[in-house]
Amino acid sequence: MADPGIEIITTPRDLFQRLGARYPEQLSKTLQTTMEASLLHVQGSVPGYPKPRPNQTYRRTGTLGRSLGVAQTGGPIGKANVYTSKRMGNAWGGGFWTKPSFSPDVIWGGKQKEMFVGRWWTMATVAKKAAAGVLRLHEAAMEELARWIDGK
């Protein structure tokens, strides 16, 4: 992906085969709900805007924060600019990223310009912060789907 972002893909081992034929709507609903919850968790893991440097020469507009669905002061303010959740064959995928052309310079680890290093977080930072919570959400979904198979 060219834009800074985070992708989440869950491939429930054999649940698509075992559950999909008998309960396709429940499978789809559970996985979509879980992916959307995961993306909201990722969004909630975005740190607040760093304070401006005392000698800063450029004007901050808040565009990057708004595109990620967070305010300059931190905290969710709405849906991210790019936020997807869809079935992908035998997997369910989701993405959370931003489109402003300057965003790689600011928050994309390998492309982050020197003036932002150490001052701005990266999407890798967000992914690491969110990983455990996303994993818990997906494990809970797999357990819920397994109960459907067992008829409980």
pLDDT single digits (tens) 54-72: 888 878 888 888 888 776 5
Q: Can you spell out the DSSP letters for 75-140?
A: SB-S--SEEEEEEETTEEEEEEE---TTHHHHH-GGG--TTTBTTB--HHHHHHHHHHHHHHHHHH
List, for residues 88-108, the tens digit of each pLDDT value: 776 788 888 888 889 999 998
* Percent composition of the chain: helix, strand, coil (DSSP 3-state, to 5): 45, 15, 40
Domain boundaries, the chain: 5-46+64-99+132-150
pTM given for the model: 0.82
Is residue 35 within 8 Å of residue 27, measured between CB atoms?
no
